[in-house]
Amino acid sequence: MKYLVTFFTLLLCAFTAQAQLDSLQQLPEVIVSDVKLRTHTAGISIQTITDNSIQKSRTSLTGLLQTNSLIYLRENGPGGVSSPSFRGTNAQQTAVVWNGINLNSQFTGQTDFNTISTKNYDNVSVRAGGGSVIYGSGAIGGSVHLENDISFGNEFTNKISTGYGSFNTQLISAKTNFSKTKWHFDAAVDYQNSDNDFEYLDTDQSNENGEFENVNFNVNVGYLLEASTKRTQLLKLYHNTYIGDRNFSGTLTAVSNDAYEDQNTRTLAVWERLGKRYDGTLRVAHIFEQFRFFDNTDNREFFSIGKSSRFLANYDATITIDSKKKLTLSGEYNTITADGSSIEDQSRTVGSLVALWKHTLTNRFSYELQARQETVSDFDSPFLLSVGADYSIPNSTNTFKNTFSLNASRNYRVPTFNDLFWQGPGATGNPDVLPETSLQAEVGHTFSTKGFTSNVRGYYIQTEDLIKWLPDNSGIWSPINIAETQHYGLEIGFNYDKQINEHHFTANAQYGYTIAEDEATGNQLTYVPKNKVIISLAHQYKWLHTFIENRFNGEVYTTTDNTAFVDNYIVSNIGVTANIILNKSNVMVITGRLNNVFNTNYQTIAFRPNPGRNFLIQTTFTF
Amino acid sequence: MKIRILLVAFLSLYLFSCSSDDDTSTPTPLGNFQDGLLITNQGPFNEGFGTVSFVSGLTTVQNDIFQTVNNDNLGNIVQSIGFSGNQAYIVANVSNRITVVNRFTFEEQARIDTGLDNPRFFIAIGNKGYVTNWGDGTNPDDDYVSVIDLTTNTITTNIPVAEGPESLVVSGNNIYVAHKGGFGVNNIISVIDASTDQVSTTIEVGDVPNSMQLDGVGNLWVLSGGNPGFIGDETAGSLSIIDLQAEEVFQTYEFDATEHPNALNLENGALYYYLNGGIYENTASFVDFSLPEEPILDGLNFFNMRIISNAIFGVNAGDFASNGSLEIYNLNTLELFDSLELGIIPDQIYIN
């Protein structure tokens, strides 16, 4: 893996040589990669985590979302497998969407949040609630969106960042961003490794076999074909490669010598034509995922492997009927192949049609209707529907605004290749398994005024035909559509922003109350905390920025009969960032953070302790 | 054998009300966990630890007795227990550890935690213990049987064997190892000569031998589950009878192609096994044997089963993510006698 870093570092040096040529600053027009995420939001709550938070967090998606969202992350320790529970749903019911493309694994149906490096994205957004009509399988509890922006202008900036932290954690990343009136180019590489050998607090054990390293590479290109008063046409290319090599650490009761390699690449090409009446977007993408699992990290001759390759093409046609009515029709075609040690050369084709209707009835009221139908080669896919509405009441002087929203949708999660075709030791896939479906509804209220927003949402989700792997009479594990669950809960959030002279204060607090029950037993689902609270405070004075992040996680049950649980915990992190402006175009940013300040001994998964107090220092040089 | 007789006496007492009161000469108890059943609970799959439950008098259960006595745990995935004298050897599969306890008090006496790699089952001859090990799951060529000196509790040698050594039985000076096949499948019984600690021969049986029983007249009965459907080469279960003198199979009975039986029991001069939620019984003479056609009891969900005297002990693992149960049926009336809550994924049943 080290050769890759060297390679990309060299690549970047070639650009820095030209750094001084274009120092003119212009405000570029930012072109987002996923227009639907911004425009089709009726009745939905979207929280965008800013670049600022991304930069000061650990580089994994787990670290970012743990402290910035209400998603509960079940993490097998730092670097280990990490899966989300969003509104009490399971890991397969949260979609991860990269520049508009659903990334969830064809094998497991989920995304390991520790295999997503957040450093190279401009926006990370959390979209709560059902989104299967637009984003497809798995957007039941919600979805997490990773986006790269493309901008034209006259810009040339470079960033190099290095970091060092406890347990011999090393980070290095570099990014270059270059744009002209017709061109955009950015490339970034992000590498991290860690011995990750922290002590288990209150024991004489430590985290053995936990070391990991990974490299993440992005390149994004935009080219403006035409920019006239009649229409704009542009071409965009997005690429991301992630290569990870990690050992799977043991637990308090078991040692481990397992290891795991991930190799994922995603490439997306887009042709966009934007007009007054008609927008057309053609997207072609290739998504490749491969894993190799080693039983014994010291003997890598033996492993099991799985790889899948997916091609997709889709076309979105958006017709602007008048300033208040918009109709979008999309057609998409996917062809997926998967092969590996336990799946023999299987393939699937998926065709889908999506219709989105958005109507702004009055200044205050808008609604949307959305529908999706798919045809899948190996099972029947349900018809999906979503309705949403927003009603805003500004006061007479426009100093504050109340918005009421309502959304209801039917969503789904398709059986994975593992569910259908797995043929491995002690387990076999079930070709007759059906998609999981959910019906859900939510209501929300947002109050916003200068410097303050509050958000309250209540939701209800009912899922049917949940796929569970259970052993049959001869002890062979196989998936069946057995469980039904219901989820309901409340989410409350506050954001406060205040400028007093040269002091800038920000505060964010969120509380989630989650009930997620198996309908057969009435028991709370495992690893779903009933309560989660996050509170973060930040203060900026001139070049000095300080912050504190706190999170409280309620206890979680670890058995389906709710007899065993992992204790609740509070973890706090503090940090300081210094922005040292060297000259007009050269900025040095130094961030130091102390995680788990109070040395709390906590677990998100039973018998897998997390690190005690630990630090991370990062230096970023922009030029 | 004395323990066994006592337990049978208990069974008679509870399952039949016709017992007499004249047999009350109980010897001094050797510990709190005497005269009952020890049941292993594997524990949760990924994290946590397995436990051992003690069932006494068919109506009471004490779960996690090791924790109660020692304030510690047995490690991840408790696979099985082997016995030698007053010692019990508790095998924790993922933790690569054997905990040696006094079988009646459950006080820890020693730990064997070096040299094991994916250990499965333990059996003792004299002062030597034999432990089957799968090694790395994806490597079919690194499986072995560890030989443990029971006076020092250390591994003295490893005997390389074919893939997937599982349960063991002892007859005379020989150890018979059923190769169920680990992460793959296998179809042999290895014979280890305890005087040389070498494999003296291997005997081919049906695919996936999962349980073995000695019949007391020099035969080893081996029940094979057959290849399950998932390997793409499904084979029928089978029952093989090995003549231990000749070291060869002299009789094989085949099941239907999709039948995969397990949990062979020879008890009360009859044969029992578990198949598709049913218990099958053949009380006919072993000389004139044929596979039974119909189950005596059906609609069960047993992960493992043991027949002792007039009782059927079945462990039900439920959804494998919550506490399981022990279901006790009267073998004569086939009625449910009692159901007791055990730990997570209850598995092996031993008389103590």
Nearest to B136 among A295, A474, A605 (CB): A295
Residues of B with CB below 8 A from A474's CB? 225, 228, 260, 262, 276
CA B4/CA A574 separation, integer angstroms: 64
What is the average pLDDT across A246-272?
92
Q: Do A299 and B344 touch (CB under 8 A)?
A: no
List all residues 6 or more positions away from A327 whose beta carbon is below 8 Å from its beta carbon.
A318, A319, A321, A355, A356, A357, A358
List all residues 6 or more positions away from A57 whose beta carbon is below 8 Å from its beta carbon.
A63, A64, A67, A68, A118
Residue to test with chain B: of A207, A253, A469, A563, most B Cβ within 10 A? A253
Q: Do B44 and A423 touch (CB under 8 A)?
A: no
Residues of A with CB below 8 A from B323's CB? 559, 561, 563
Q: Do B47 and A560 touch (CB under 8 A)?
A: no
The whole-number pLDDT of residue A525 equals 93
Number of CB pairs, chain A paired with chain B, less than 8 A apart: 96
ipTM of the complex: 0.83
Q: Do B138 and A304 touch (CB under 8 A)?
A: yes
Q: Give the confidence band of A570 by pLDDT, cuts at 50, 70, 90.
A: very high
Q: How far is CA B60 from CA A173, A393, B81, in A?
A: 62, 66, 21
Q: Do B319 and A560 touch (CB under 8 A)?
A: yes
Residue-wise pLDDT for A103-142, tens only, equals: 999 999 999 999 998 888 888 999 999 999 999 999 999 9
The whole-number pLDDT of residue A352 equals 95
Does residue A5 sit in helix, strand or coil?
helix
Torsions phi, psi for A4 (to 5 deg):
-65, -45
Element of type H or E holding A11: helix A2-16
List all residues 6 or more positions away from B285 whose beta carbon is below 8 Å from its beta carbon.
none
- pLDDT at residue B284 is higher than 80: no
Give the DSSP per-residue string, B179-234. Answer: E--TTS---EEEEEETTTTEEEEEEE-SSSEEEEEE-SSSEEEEEE----GGGS--
The whole-number pLDDT of residue B286 equals 62
Nearest to A254 among B95, B230, B262 (CB): B95
Q: Do A476 and B229 touch (CB under 8 A)?
A: yes
CA B59/CA B37 separation, integer angstroms: 11
Nearest to B230 among A423, A558, A561 (CB): A423
CA A555/CA A214 separation, integer angstroms: 32
Residue-wise pLDDT for A417-427, tens only, equals: 989 888 877 78
The DSSP symbol for B297 reads: B
Residues of B with CB below 8 A from A607's CB? 47-49
Residue to test with chain A: of B46, B113, B114, B134, most A Cβ within 10 A? B46
Q: Give the confidence band of B268 by pLDDT, cuts at 50, 70, 90.
A: confident
Question: For all residues of chain B together, what is the average pLDDT?
Answer: 89
Residue-wise pLDDT for A463-500, tens only, equals: 999 998 887 766 678 888 988 999 999 999 999 999 99
Q: Do A475 and B303 touch (CB under 8 A)?
A: yes
CA A572/CA A223 separation, integer angstroms: 44
Element of type H or E holding A573: strand A569-583
Q: Give the confidence band of A311 by pLDDT, cuts at 50, 70, 90.
A: very high
Buried residues in A298-320 as b, exposed as e (16+ CB within 10 A): ebeebbbebbbbbebebebebeb
Q: Do A428 and B229 touch (CB under 8 A)?
A: yes
Radius of gyration, CA atoms only, chain B: 19
Residue B99 CB-density burial (10 A; 0-12 exposed, 13-18 middle, 19+ buried):
buried
Report the range of poorest mean pLDDT among A44-53, B203-212, B237-246.
A44-53
Q: Which residue would you say has higher pLDDT here, B231 or B94?
A: B94
Q: Do A423 and B260 touch (CB under 8 A)?
A: no
**Mind telling me how many Å the CA of A425 is from chain B's nearest CA?**
5
The whole-number pLDDT of residue B290 equals 82
**Mind telling me how many Å the CA of B288 is from chain A's nearest CA?**
28
Q: Give the confidence band of B206 by pLDDT, cuts at 50, 70, 90.
A: very high
Q: Give the confidence band of B1 by pLDDT, cuts at 50, 70, 90.
A: very low
CATH fit for domain A2-622, picks 1.10.1740.10, 2.30.29.30, 3.90.320.10, 2.40.170.20: 2.40.170.20
Q: Give the confidence band of B118 by pLDDT, cuts at 50, 70, 90.
A: very high
CA B290/CA A623 separation, integer angstroms: 85
Q: Do B48 and A607 touch (CB under 8 A)?
A: yes
Residue to test with chain B: of A473, A524, A603, most B Cβ within 10 A? A473
The whole-number pLDDT of residue A474 equals 63
Q: Do B228 and A476 touch (CB under 8 A)?
A: yes
Q: Do A428 and B228 touch (CB under 8 A)?
A: yes
- pLDDT at residue B9 is higher than 60: no
**Percent of chain A's residues with pLDDT above 90:** 68
The whole-number pLDDT of residue B146 equals 97
Torsions phi, psi for B77 (to 5 deg):
60, 85
CA A91/CA A74 separation, integer angstroms: 9
* Token pair for A91: 């890991």
Q: Which residue of A has its CA nearest to B182?
A: A425
Which candidate, A565, A566, A568, A564, places its Cα nearest to that of A553?
A568
The whole-number pLDDT of residue A23 equals 30
Question: For all residues of chain A together, what is the average pLDDT?
Answer: 88
β-strand pairing of A212-227 with A231-248:
antiparallel
The whole-number pLDDT of residue B21 equals 44
Nearest to B47 among A428, A471, A607 (CB): A607
Q: Do B323 and A563 touch (CB under 8 A)?
A: yes
- List the domain boundaries for chain A: 2-622
**Mind telling me how many Å the CA of A82 is from chain B's nearest CA?**
14
Nearest to B76 among A251, A303, A422 (CB): A251
**Percent of chain A's residues with pLDDT above 70:** 94
* Token pair for B108: 């820890």
Report the range of poorest mean pLDDT among A500-514, A576-590, B293-307.
A576-590
Residues of B with CB below 8 A from A295's CB? 136-139
**Percent of chain B's residues with pLDDT above 70:** 90
The DSSP symbol for B277 reads: T
β-strand pairing of A142-147 with A94-98:
parallel
Q: Do B228 and A304 touch (CB under 8 A)?
A: no
The whole-number pLDDT of residue B17 equals 39
Residues of B with CB below 8 A from A470's CB? 319-320
CA A218/CA A287 separation, integer angstroms: 14
Residues of B with CB below 8 A from A301's CB? 139
pTM beyond 0.90: the answer is no
Q: Give the confidence band of B258 by pLDDT, cuts at 50, 70, 90.
A: confident
**Mind telling me how many Å the CA of A477 is from chain B's nearest CA?**
10
**Mind telling me how many Å the CA of B31 is from chain A's nearest CA?**
27
The whole-number pLDDT of residue A4 equals 32
- pLDDT at residue B334 is higher than 90: yes
- pLDDT at residue A3 is higher than 50: no
**Mind telling me how many Å the CA of A315 is from chain B's nearest CA?**
40
Report the range of poorest mean pLDDT among A73-87, A273-287, B19-33.
B19-33
* Token pair for A47: 């929280």
Q: Do A427 and B73 touch (CB under 8 A)?
A: no
- pLDDT at residue B288 is higher than 90: no
Does residue A411 sit in helix, strand or coil?
strand
What is the average pLDDT across B135-145?
87
**Mind telling me how many Å the CA of A416 is from chain B's nearest CA?**
17
Q: Give the confidence band of B231 by pLDDT, cuts at 50, 70, 90.
A: low
Q: Do B276 and A474 touch (CB under 8 A)?
A: yes
**Mind telling me how many Å the CA of A619 is from chain B's nearest CA?**
38
Residues B132 and B142: beta-carbon distance below 8 Å: no
Give the DSSP per-residue string, A190-238. Answer: EEEEE---PBPTTSS-B-TT--EEEEEEEEEEEEEEEE-SSEEEEEEEE
Give the DSSP per-residue string, A154-193. Answer: SEEEEEEEEEEETTTEEEEEEEEEEE-SSEEEEEEEEEEE
User: Would you give the distance in Å from CA B113 to the centre of its chain?
Assistant: 22
Q: Do B321 and A559 touch (CB under 8 A)?
A: yes
CA A143/CA A71 separation, integer angstroms: 10
Residues of B with CB below 8 A from A476's CB? 228-230
Residue-wise pLDDT for A18-27, tens only, equals: 333 333 222 3
Q: Do B47 and A296 touch (CB under 8 A)?
A: no
User: Would you give the distance in Å from CA A471 to the centre of its chain?
Assistant: 32
Q: Which residue of B has its CA nearest to A420?
A: B230
**Mind telling me how many Å the CA of B230 is from chain A's nearest CA?**
5
The whole-number pLDDT of residue A15 equals 31
The whole-number pLDDT of residue A427 equals 80
Q: Do A427 and B230 touch (CB under 8 A)?
A: yes
Q: Do A606 and B137 touch (CB under 8 A)?
A: no
Q: Which residue would you say has higher pLDDT here, A41 or A259?
A: A259
Q: Do A423 and B225 touch (CB under 8 A)?
A: no
The whole-number pLDDT of residue B18 equals 39
CA A83/CA B293 separation, integer angstroms: 48
Q: Which residue would you say has higher pLDDT here, A74 or A228?
A: A74
